[in-house]
Amino acid sequence: MMRQYELVDRVRKYNPQTDEDLLNRAYVYAMRAHGQQKRASGDPYFTHPLEVAAILTEMKLDDATIVAAVLHDTIEDTGATRADIDTLFGPEIGRLVDGLTKLKKLDLVSKRAAQAENFRKLLLAIAEDVRVLLVKLADRLHNMRTLHYVSPEKRARIAEETLDIYAPLAGRMGMQNLRDELENLSFKYLMPEAFAMVSTRLEDLREKNHELIKTIENELTEELARRDIKADVRGRQKQPYSVWSKMERKSLAFEQLSDIFGFRVVVDNTDDCYRVIGVVHRKWPMVPGRFKDYVSTPKQNDYRSIHTTVVGPGRQRVELQVRTHEMHDIARHGIAAHALYKDGRDAPAPVLSHESNAYQWLKRTIDMLSEGSSPEEFLEHTRLELFHDQVFCFTPKGRLIALPRGATPIDFAYAVHTSVGNSAVGAKINGRLAPLLAPLDNGDEVEIVRAEGQTPPAAWESIAVTGKARAAIRRATRDAVRAQYAGLGRQIVLRAFERAGKKFSDDKLRPSLPRLARSTIDDVLAAVGRGEMFSGDVVKAVYPEFKEERKAQAPDRTDPGWFRMQKASGVQFKAPGASSDAQAVPIRGLHGDLPVAFAPNGAVPGDRIVGIMTPGQGITVYPIQSPALAAFDDQPERWLDVRWDVEDAQSLFPARIMVAAINEPGSLGAVASLIGEQGGNIDDVTFNKKSPDFREMIFDIQVFDLKHLNDILSRLRVLPMINSVERVIG
């Protein structure tokens, strides 16, 4: 465990004016507060806040941040209070520690709502003071470094949350080193076999190419020195998770990757960056389409660098990044490199330099997301906003708009202004009329065609990529049908209370709104009417002692939740009149006595889905990306807004995959064995193509959910005889 004097020495190395008394008092206070508490490893709990503080000293942060790191778990896990921290260490540190403290006494029906509400509190605290984010990321990093001590279930949950939220958040704040480590640790625990495979291959490649890397480093350094350019040239290798992500995203084998190795050239000033590019492009031919200038157009997280790819020695592709020392510092530490703090315990809140676009983006995003009607919606839109791959487009007046890759003119319109998105009816891309669904490319000029009084279609929510667009579309459509859904929800809730033998009134429901994570009675009723909230949850919120005996009651078909699959009691509901082929589908949003079935190639929980109604036949559920839906584009009256109503899938659902494998003995058996080992069930196998060299097989399988399906696909791609594996969506 780090000693008291060691912590002080760490801070004094970069801050000779540090308040040693403040650091010493925080050390002693936290050690006494945590007392005999232990971590899962058996170590004293106090070692954790000390390690978090040590991580932050590597970023050379101010005294208040280091002290907040030492104290960050005291309010949450000990008898300490906010008032105690304020009295002993000042309100500034008290505010930081409070921002890092979870809301322990949340009385919410849904655990997901509690998780989202805590995350909302954290982000709001971050918007007030960026140092809360720095401590939280350091806290998560140390927890990930010691994750092997916790149970497998908790390990998987924390690693997935880290990969979904905290690693992208670190990336959006420009903290690339921290993001890389969070991603690799998550990858290691979520997919240990894939992590081991990629790491081993990278190590073998590093040993094989060691001399080539040194040759390129020396050759490029000498070439620049001859032109009086002082530069630090270093070879670098992609991280395991980055390699795996590219293999998955582009369906490539490891051998097909051409940019595993790259080189970073760090120079003294911006002029030298462009001089280096001139030297490199004259010496080696550039690969077309691989030049990106993030110096003149920085990324939204303040990242600046020039990227190029050339055909270097040995006819190998070589990727180069050229930047100044200042740019390099920001690329590694991101927003931490921007923070300018004054020394002393009475220092004001941190002042960020005018260049810190990342923090300004985060504050704007939090302000926008906080308008969401539910904590679950807030969490969903936050995940969407953390996508980091970007395209840069322009308005006709030259305003630059940064969007996630895959964004459409719908996202562009809402990025300009919510009113522009709500009134959009068309778009011109580079002067030509284009559909609102067209994906945007770097450099596109986009003009939105508007019509006053227009209301965005609800289907746009499934098409939009950005959280801002989805939130605005959902809000607009919610307002348009709010009265209708609230009326339906009131009828459903009244019947639920009648079945329970309880009295319902608005006055009785109002005190229970916090437990349902809604701010108004209309919000609750509309959520029930839309099928987003089960009516029984409303009864339990008002009468906590009430226990619903669902076995003894027939399902209420006016409640959108009646399609829930009652796995625990062995009961499965089907729409009345359903044929023998119809599925017992755990989906909300379906009404009436109609049979329900899946599309021919299936749909699994995790897919965004839509229902298509065929008069006289029933409802067919399709994944939203199914090309078959194009046939119904001109029949909007047949489209139904449906959603999965499962959290932990206990049943298998159909999916179809296509496997291209080398035509050799045992290939079919290897594929079938792996699917079985991973818990999948094979319904049917057909051979689509067969040649002397390879065979193409179509598997109809059953899986629990989209994550289960993607895990099977990932593991199949690792098999040596496999050429490609794809999901078939018809």
CA distance 604 to 541: 31
Q: Is 567 left (phi over 0), alpha (psi -120 to 50) or beta?
A: alpha
CA distance 451 to 421: 10
Q: Which of 77, 161, 376, 641 is catalytic?
A: 77
* Amino acid found at 102: K
- For residue 58 the two structure tokens come to 């590597």
- For residue 203 the two structure tokens come to 């190590």
Residue 702 DSSP symbol: E
Contacts 24+ apart (CB under 8 A), 616-621: 618/575, 618/578, 618/579, 618/582, 618/594, 619/575, 619/590, 619/594, 619/595, 620/596, 621/585, 621/587, 621/596, 621/597
* H-run or E-run covering 394: strand 390-394
Backbone angles phi, psi at 536, to 5 degrees: -65, -30
- Residue from 389, 360, 326, 322 nearest 171 by CA: 389
Active site residue 51: no
Name 701's bridge partners: 655, 682
Q: Which of 20, 76, 326, 641 is catalytic?
A: 76
- Residue from 529, 420, 524, 424 nearest 481 by CA: 529
CA distance 272 to 270: 5
CB 103 within 8 A of CB 117: yes
Output Rg (C-alpha) for the chain, integer angstroms: 28
CA distance 613 to 595: 10
Pair type for strands 261-267 and 317-324: parallel
- Residue from 600, 103, 183 nearest 375 by CA: 103
CA 30 to chain centre: 33
CA distance 186 to 194: 12
Residue 634 DSSP symbol: T
Nearby residues of 456 by Cβ (< 8 Å), 6 or more positions away: 421, 422, 424, 472, 473, 476, 477
- Residue from 329, 156, 358, 168 nearest 245 by CA: 168
CA 595 to chain centre: 36
Active site residue 77: yes
CA distance 269 to 326: 9
CB atoms within 10 A of CB 293: 16
Number of residues written out for the chain: 730
Burial class (CB in 10 A: 0-12, 13-18, 19+), 648: exposed
CB 464 within 8 A of CB 470: yes
Q: Please provide the DSSP assignment of 221-263 as one string.
A: HHHHHTTT--EEEEEEE--HHHHHHHHHHHT--GGG-S-SEEE
Residue 286 DSSP symbol: B
Residues carrying an active site annotation: 76-77
